[in-house]
Structure 1
Amino acid sequence: LLLAYSGYDSIGGNDANATVSAALISNIWETFERQGVRENLTEMLVECENGVIAVTRIANMLLAIKAGGEMPLGLLRAKLRALADYLYTPLTIVSSKD
């Protein structure tokens, strides 16, 4: 799992918030895959009290975007897909260097 976070300080968060969010999303994704609830799971939106987290798989990593509750879900999905498309090649190269 690749964990990267940006902008947490600017919205009043800290490194611990990023770590908790990453652990939560990783665990939820793994549970869905393990239980076979969603075969071929490619994308997930999690609505929380203080915002929304959008997640997709790139190679063997998860890419997550966290946004405030006022963000339209369609726009968040579009941003997630655009970022995933942009990062697909570099992350595939990095993940294959194990």
Structure 2
Amino acid sequence: MGFGMMNYSAMQAPLMLWQQMARMAWESQMVIALRTAGMMGLLRQDAAEPQRMVIEKADAASEALHAALRAAGRGERADRVMAAALRPYRRRTRANVRRLSGKD
């Protein structure tokens, strides 16, 4: 890269990662609210939802660890390793919002 040239993709990477994290944080709050309402009897909820809630956390953590290790093993930049680790959590929060809100 010559003088005066900028690598815009490298500059955008942290912003994209922040955007993904912010979206996942918002969806996580929605999932918590929907599950709480279900446990209080305000919304219909499958009886196995509390068990599913616990099991999916362990599964997501395992997938995130493996994804981060694979990305790091390939020599990816730190933001890409973080994005790989975030992907399993993001996929689950998105699916949970859809399922619990009845948009499925």
Q: TM-score, normalised by structure 2?
A: 0.34
Structure with the higher fraction of residues in helix conformation: 2
Q: TM-score, normalised by structure 1?
A: 0.35
Larger radius of gyration: 2
Structure with the higher fraction of residues in strand conformation: 1
